[in-house]
Structure 1
Amino acid sequence: MSQRLAPDPGGAFSFGLFPATRRCDGLRALQGALSWACIPDQGVFMRRVICLFSLLLAAPLQAETLQAGSKITAVTVYPEGAMLTRRVEFDAPAGLHDLLITDLPQYTDPQTLRLTAAAAVQIGAYALRTDRLPPRPDLAPSAEYTAAKTALEAAQDAETTAQLALDAVTARIEAAQAQIAYLGRLGASDAKADTEMLQATARMIGAEVLAASQTAIAARADLPAAQRALRDAQEARAKAEAALQALTAPRDDYAALSLAISVETPGPATIEINQFMPAATWSPLYDIALTRQTGKLVLDRSLLVSQSTGEDWEGVALTLSTAQPGNLASPSELWPQLHRIDDPQSFETERSLEAGALAPVAAEPMVVSDAFAKTTVAFQGDTVTYTYPQPVDIADGVTNLRLSLDQLVFDADARARAIPRADATAFLMAEFRNSSGQILLPGPAFLTRDGAFIGGTMLEPLAPEAVATLGFGAIEGLRLKRTLPSRAEGDRGVFTKSNQIVEEARLSIENLTAEDWPVRVMDTIPYSEQEDLQITFTATPPVSEQDVDGRRGVLAWDLTVPAQSTQVISLTTQESWPEGKVLNGGRY
């Protein structure tokens, strides 16, 4: 803005340094004191003018625009999304300023931005800008990136040169072959010439064919070297491409945050920005190892983190939270349900109602819950969180970056479980109590038994002090069989007083190993909820538990099967029902 000094119609000098609407009372007082008609001395007047200009130039003429970058210092990752904390550091003189932060991701949601300033800085209005952005000095390629790009260009040039050299060798061979073919056709066309001419032609063709053949042989000798040179150039180009891709290219797809600030004390200042980005996720991963000799179950916990937020996270403090920011923040609403009865209607009236010919009976207006009309983003809550103990680097576009969390050790009760009705072998099961004092979150788990990889499973959520049982694969040395030596049905004349089914089952567990095995054998019998259908059973040895885990009809025997021996269980089940009734629900 230009400065001008001119007399106004009243004879006083007017200072056009600010628009008339923004002149302060002090300027008006100074203008009134400088009346041209009342100047007693030209030197005194000039000294007053110089002093006034000094005061005006010392004050800010307009808000200064400052440009600053930000650094991501902390990230909280949710199962869907992440909260990023940025720190903006800048130097500013006292007064009003426009601060432009130019390194936010292009797809930043302005509604999720939350700003916090230091005590000496006050924040006014702010807005997100995605166009007409100033150039960013930090977008200049790094020295490593520039060198890698130069190396790739050189490798591409070398590949082109090698390809041209190979094409030249191939062209020599093809030219020699074409010359030989032409000479052959030329000799055939001179079949009617005299003897002397034929002899001369033959000598000429022979010499030319010899020369062309020698040229082709020499070119073929150069062919392997040219092919190797091209392969080497292609491999060098591929390595150069990989080296360049490993480096982060400068990005120009960014957004800028423009905000008005007031700085009370000149010097360094900071602003913290919190923003939510949806393109991030995490999940737990477990490696669970069972050692039967020690009776210990070791659980290694890891975290899988993925992010595609448009920028790298470098040296951030990482927190993993089980909160669900995208879910409803409040429970659903329940609304009154009006039911009524009316007189029966004729078939024709019902048809007309179905066709829409008659207006339906008026009902209460439908109320739509606000919870479905809009989504409330809640970033805090009573959730399980994990804080990673050290800063981490997670590049943009990384999928399932694995971070080790900790290791938990539990006492385990390992025994075999045998279900002869369904399986040919027993399985090793380990029961443990979650004594860690922490909730074990659901996630995939990879199982190891005595150092051998068994397979994978899904670990269900487990509260502190809760008990869980995991399967650790088949025990090939424990073979199972379930046979039916006899089965009698009363409706075939074996029993005459009532209809009956009697089943005798033999459950055998053969231990082929050299150790004694504790085994829980399980089987099932039918159950009835009708008084007329009577179901009874006998078992030898007696069952250890009936209706296991509340499942009616499920039986269990806790046995120890000695090495190189077979344990047999006899189970007899009888069902009886009155004559004239039919058993419904086949089960064997």
Structure 2
Amino acid sequence: MKNLFYLLALAPTLLSAETFTIDTKVSEVTVYPQGVEVLRTGTYSIPAGTHRLVLLGVPASDPDTQLSTMQVQADGLSRSALIIRGDDVPWHDYVSDEVKQAEDRVTDIENQIATVEDRAETARLRAEAARHKIAFLSNLGRNEGLAGSDAENLRNIAQMVGEESLNAENTAQTAEIEARKIEEKLVDLEEQLNAAQADLAALLPETEERLFIAVDVTAKAASEGAISLSYIDFYNADWQPGYEFDLKTTDTPEVRIDRRVLVTQETGENWQDVRLSVSTLQPVGQNSASRIFPQRRSISEYVANLEEPVVEAPVVVEETAGFAPDPASVQGTGITYTLSEPISIASGSEIAEFALDSMTQSVELYALANPSRDETAYRTARFTNPYDQMLLSANFARWRVNGVLVATDSTASIGPREEVEMGFGPLYALTVKRDILGRSQGDVGLISRSNQSQERAQIKVENLTGETWPLRILDRVPFSEQDDLEITWTARPKPSEENVDNRRGILAWELELAPGQSETIQLDTKLSWPEGMELH
């Protein structure tokens, strides 16, 4: 990045002005499927006159887009110039107030621990001194100089040694008890220290690379107020939706839909208590319709040539539209969601998940089976999306039944008020089985006049659960768009529906199975086609 980057507003940069430094912090962010718009705020208090306000704290996470998209607003001030520098930045050792407070907290607790340890050591020194006195008194009783002493003198010495030794033992014991009581305070202090160090560690991933941003302003009178700057970082933040679908299997079954947002950011700065919005818009790429150019065509006299003509590709000149945003990253039709409570997200590789809202919708509950692919039926709910907005496709979704987690997977988008059929895990005791009872191909050969293929399939379902289940079974028969390929089929019992969801050849049976009940479906298909043709 170049050493200096100037955005001149109204007049040349002031050559002499009083400088005020202003600490700014992130107050609002709008996260896009790729990128983020950051709003930082601070306060100023300046006398009348012309001044330079240096705005501290902006990390250099994506300098090019930050510089090109930066805007500054200052209440009640007339702005003359905005100066931005990316290299040789003063205040390169800038540390946010949050980090300073966390560091001070760690230092304070460490000092408290050192004080407690010193007090405990002082108590133990008294105990050690008492033990030295006891050792001295013990050696005194073994002094050879006492051998010639009379009985009275020895009695007095013995009494003195005993009394002093007892006092010393009491002193040592009292000092040890005092030391242990003092050290009991260390347990709580060490827990506080661990918590404070964890808080500090959560703040430390912030980058040391900062931008120098200065705005030259004029105040007609002594003023104080708010100053804000905003910029876009296209590469270091993103969000995606997440969902939880919780099915309640009561007499009136319903599903609760919890919408969530998952946010990651690596802007080099921790967001503390910010107002978070997430948007489906993407402020990058083509922003207007492409230009269309006239197309000129011409003809010329045809000249016969026995050789293979050389055909040159036509040259089409069109204006390039620039790169288009990834369709997978631009979802919805421009919806922005704003969380109701301030949030905090550390800069790094962590994923922060936040609840957006929740809605409940009644459902039609049944079991759905696909015997050609599965060996069990699946608990299924049919319901209408209760939102007037699209439920965007998501890589992270959870399904619960009565609060119990049954599945995690991705989910496709669901349109506003769209009816959806959604699975809620397998019903292992509702078994399905599809067997081929017979398959034949006749009249196959060089002199055959026709070809045929016949198949008989049997589908058996059995309810081993303790409750009655409405069951929907899906299977298929082949279809043809050629008159020469004739396909006929019969099913016993007959399907309840053919060409399900306008998919040709898909059949559906609607059954209701009581506990212990089983049902069998027989499906016969026949294909016939002329000789000389091959079936695909």
TM-score when scaled to structure 2? Answer: 0.71
For the Cα contact (< 8 Å) 1:127–1:257, is it kept in 2? yes
Match of 2:259 among 294, 301, 317: 301
- 1:71 is aligned to 25
- Which of 182, 197, 219 matches 1:263? 219
SS of equivalent to 2:351: strand
Deviation per CA, 1:386-421: give whole Å up to 9, x if none: 110011122222521111222211112121112222
Match of 1:320 in 2: 278
Aligned equivalents of 2:456 and 2:488: distance in 1? 12
Q: 1:392 aligns with which of 343, 348, 357?
A: 343
Q: Relative to structure 1, is the Cα distance of residues 91 and 146 closer, same or farther in structure 2, using a 3 angstrom cutoff?
A: closer
SS in 2 for 1:457: strand
In structure 2, the CA distance between the partners of 1:344 and 1:435, relative to structure 1 (3 Å rule), is farther
Match of 2:137 in 1: none
RMSD, matched Cα? 3.8
Q: 1:153 to 1:581 in 2, by over 3 A?
A: farther
Q: Deviations over 1:344-376 (max 9, x none)?
A: 7676986xxxxxxxxx9595463341534999x
2: CA distance between counterparts of 1:433 and 1:409? 11
Q: Deviations over 1:66-120 (max 9, x none)?
A: 22222322111111111111223111222222222122112442111012232x2
User: Aligned to 2:462, which of 491, 510, 514?
Assistant: 510
Match of 2:180 in 1: none
Q: What is the one-letter code of the residue matched to 1:546?
A: E
The 2-side partners of 1:151 and 1:459 are apart by 48
Structure 1 letter corresponding to 2:493: P
Pick closer, same or farther for the CA change 1:511–1:145 going to 2, 3 Å: same
State the Cα distance separating 1:253 from its structure 2 match: 2.5
What pairs with 1:212-227 in structure 2 (closer than 5 Å)?
Answer: none
Q: 1:241 to 1:574 in 2, by over 3 A?
A: same
Please name the residue that 2:375 is paired with.
424
The answer on whether the counterparts of 1:74 and 1:316 sit within 8 Å (CA) in structure 2 is yes
- 1:570 matched to 2:507? The reply is no
Superposed displacement of residue 322, structure 1: 0.8
Aligned pairs for 1:96-245 (under 5 A) are 96-107=50-61, 108=63, 109-118=66-75, 120-135=76-91, 142=100, 144-146=102-104, 148=106, 245=201
How much has 1:529 moved relative to structure 2? 0.9
Report the counterpart of residue 428 of structure 2 in structure 1. 476
- The one of 530, 533, 549 equivalent to 2:485 is 533
Higher relative contact order (CA 8 A, sep 6+): 2
Letter in 1 for 2:393: P
CA deviation after TM superposition for structure 1 residue 473, in Å = 1.9
Match of 2:320 among 369, 378, 391: 369
The verdict on how the C-alpha distance between 1:566 and 1:343 changes in structure 2, with shifts beyond 3 A counting, is farther
Alignment match, 1:284: 241
* Corresponding position of 1:170: none
Out of 184, 187, 210, the residue aligned to residue 254 of structure 1 is: 210
CA spacing shift, 1:399–1:345, aligned 2, 3 Å: farther
For residue 551 of structure 1, what is the amino acid of its counterpart?
R
Distance 1:313 1:244 in 2: 14
Partner letter of residue 110 of structure 1? L
Structure 1 residues 568 and 70, CA gap change in structure 2 (3 angstroms): same
Instruction: Sort the Cα spacing of 1:528 and 1:139 in 2 relative to 1 into closer, same or farther, 3 A.
Output: closer
Q: Indicate the residue corresponding to 2:391 in structure 1.
A: 440
Distance 1:151 1:328 in 2: 55
Q: Which runs of 5+ in 2 are unaligned?
A: 1-13, 114-189
Q: 1:555 to 1:142 in 2, by over 3 A?
A: same
Give the Å deviation of 1:297.
Answer: 0.9
Q: Does 1:542 align with 2:504?
A: no
Partner of 1:24 in structure 2? none
Contact 2:59-2:208 within 8 A present in 1 as well: no
Counterpart code for 2:419:
V
Higher helix share: 1
Deviations 1:125-182 (A, max 9, x none): 2121234544478668635415636988999xxxxxxxxxxxxxxxxxxxxxxxxxxx
Deviation string 1:433-454 (CA, Å, 9 cap, x unpaired) is 0123232122121111234322
Give the whole-Å Cα distance in 2 for the aligned partners of 1:148 and 1:554: 68
Q: Is the 8 A contact 2:206 2:270 kept in 1?
A: no
Q: 1:61, 1:349 → 2: CA distance?
A: 73
Distance 1:347-1:450 versus aligned 2 partners, 3 A rule: farther
Alpha-carbon distance change, 410 to 423 in structure 1, aligned in 2, over 3 angstroms: same
Instruction: Indicate yes or no: 2:33 matched with 1:82.
Output: no
Q: Is the alpha carbon distance of 1:462 and 1:364 closer, same or farther for their aligned partners in structure 2, counting shifts above 3 Å?
A: same
